[in-house]
């Protein structure tokens, strides 16, 4: 029986079928002197990425696949892939061939032979670069790196790197504290381990994508901000409550705008305006939360209708709790110590917490593991 590999290379994928065979070929060339395996963690790609990896695995036992169903997210894919391995050293690399796999032996040597915890493939240390990047993408990357200083104590030049290698012990120290949000798993690891990590950055030049489409979009940027919030205030407040409350604030503006249109501009009754405004605001809040707050649990198809119904019912009860608490505090405030503003604020907080707690359980319940 052959021993388990020394190095597991974890590759999160979604619609990367065209790049998989070439990546395996390049890994075999770069790691010819290393006992290695590659684990593709595929989020049920519709292009058949997982099926192709299985075909390759039948010919090459170093190739493995973990296919996730009803789960999405680069960070969680990386973690699941690492946990599926028994190797003492774990590397993460993208499937799009933009990372230079030829420095993997250098990353391994730095961790294994120099006693480091992490070795990072860096675009921003001396000798690295971002070939052919447009000025706006360079600015966004640099700005995101600057924001990372809010939660990162290490002097990493490229904390946004998705190309790195670490000891298994580092994963074990971090895994229970990881946010699992978004796509910057390296930053998440550094911010989750309670001690300073010993690391070195090894330069490489970021290459153009060979095939497929980039996954970077505005929602990815949103997830990055949520991850930063989670690592900074997540111990005090459930992190999903922050965007949930923010979207609730947007809902207030939507409500008032619709109320004005129906009640004032269309000259309908206040009751009619209030009813329409409430329904529209609840609906907009539902879809915004489905898109952003619970992006990893997004409802689709008929699930959207079921979710909308449960969300509307929960928020209707939350509105009753809001009014009830506020009215009780205001009417019982004989001495005038609380006032109408604080009474109303207390009602809003109670309603918001109710809405968040109930909808997180019944509307966007956590999917069962496949």
What CATH number corresponds to the domain at position 170? 3.90.550.10
For residues 223 and 311, membership in a common domain is answered with no
10-residue mean pLDDT profile of the chain (370 residues): values are 83 93 96 96 93 96 93 85 95 93 96 93 83 63 62 74 92 85 76 88 83 53 66 68 86 84 81 80 91 82 90 86 72 64 71 86 70
Whether 16 is in a domain gets the answer: yes
Cβ contact 93:9 at 8 Å: yes
Whether 93 is in a domain gets the answer: yes
Domain end among 209, 233, 257: 233
For residues 282 and 211, membership in a common domain is answered with no
What was the pLDDT predicted at 223? Answer: 66
Whether 1 is in a domain gets the answer: no
Domain count, the chain: 2
Whether 11 is in a domain gets the answer: yes
For residues 229 and 279, membership in a common domain is answered with no
Question: Using CA atoms, how far apart are residues 364 and 127, in angstroms rounded to an integer?
Answer: 46
Please state the three-class secondary structure of 160-196 as a single string: CCCCEEEEHHHHHHHHHHCCCCCCCHHHHHHHHCCCC
Cβ contact 20:40 at 8 Å: yes
Strands (E), 194-313: 199-203, 205-206
For residues 73 and 219, membership in a common domain is answered with yes
Whether 78 is in a domain gets the answer: yes
Q: What angle do CA 291, 297, 298 make, to 5 degrees?
A: 40
Question: Using CA atoms, how far apart are residues 62 and 80, in angstroms rounded to an integer?
Answer: 18
For residues 97 and 202, membership in a common domain is answered with yes
For residues 22 and 167, membership in a common domain is answered with yes
For residues 265 and 185, membership in a common domain is answered with no
For residues 119 and 192, membership in a common domain is answered with yes
For residues 170 and 42, membership in a common domain is answered with yes
What was the pLDDT predicted at 222? Answer: 65
Burial of 59 (0-12, 13-18, 19+ CB in 10 A): exposed
For residues 153 and 222, membership in a common domain is answered with yes
Give the tens place of pLDDT for each residue, 61-95: 999 999 998 777 788 899 999 999 999 999 999 99
Cβ contact 4:86 at 8 Å: yes
Containing domain of residue 267, as a range?
241-362
Domain end among 215, 233, 251: 233
What are the residues facing 201 on neighbouring strands? 120
For residues 266 and 178, membership in a common domain is answered with no
For residues 220 and 247, membership in a common domain is answered with no
């Amino acid at each position: 029986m052959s021993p388990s590999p020394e190095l597991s290379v974890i590759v999160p994928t979604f619609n990367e079928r065209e790049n998989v065979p070439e990546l395996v070929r390049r890994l075999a060339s770069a790691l010819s002197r290393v006992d290695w395996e590659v684990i593709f963690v595929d989020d049920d790609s519709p292009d058949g990425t997982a099926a192709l990896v299985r075909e390759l695995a039948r010919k090459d036992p170093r190739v493995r696949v973990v296919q996730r169903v009803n789960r999405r997210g680069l960070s969680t894919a990386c973690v699941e892939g690492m946990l599926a391995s028994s190797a003492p050293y774990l590397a993460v690399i993208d499937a799009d061939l933009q990372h230079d796999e030829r420095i993997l032996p250098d990353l391994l040597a730095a961790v294994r032979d120099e006693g480091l915890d992490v070795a990072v493939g860096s675009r921003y240390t001396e000798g690295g670069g971002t070939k052919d990047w447009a000025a706006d993408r360079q600015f966004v990357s640099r700005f995101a790196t600057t924001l990372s200083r809010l939660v990162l104590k290490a002097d990493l030049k490229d904390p946004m790197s998705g190309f790195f290698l670490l000891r298994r012990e580092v994963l074990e120290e971090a895994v229970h504290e990881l946010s699992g949000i978004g796509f910057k798993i390296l930053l998440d690891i550094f911010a989750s381990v309670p001690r300073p990590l010993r690391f070195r950055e090894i330069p490489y030049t970021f290459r153009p994508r060979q095939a497929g489409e980039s996954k970077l979009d505005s929602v990815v940027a949103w997830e990055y901000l949520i991850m930063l919030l989670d690592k900074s205030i997540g111990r005090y407040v459930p992190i999903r409550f922050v965007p949930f409350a923010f979207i609730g604030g947007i809902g207030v503006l939507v409500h008032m705008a619709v109320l004005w249109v129906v009640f004032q501009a269309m000259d309908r009754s206040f009751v009619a305006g209030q009813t329409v405004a409430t329904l529209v605001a609840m609906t907009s809040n539902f879809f915004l939360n489905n898109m952003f707050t619970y992006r990893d649990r997004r409802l689709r198809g008929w699930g959207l209708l079921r979710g909308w119904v449960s969300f509307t019912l929960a928020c209707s009860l939350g509105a009753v709790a809001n009014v009830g608490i506020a009215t009780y505090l205001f009417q019982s405030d004989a001495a005038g110590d609380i006032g109408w503003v604080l009474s109303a604020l207390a009602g809003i907080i109670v309603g918001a917490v109710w809405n968040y707690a109930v909808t997180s359980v019944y509307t966007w319940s956590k999917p069962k593991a496949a």
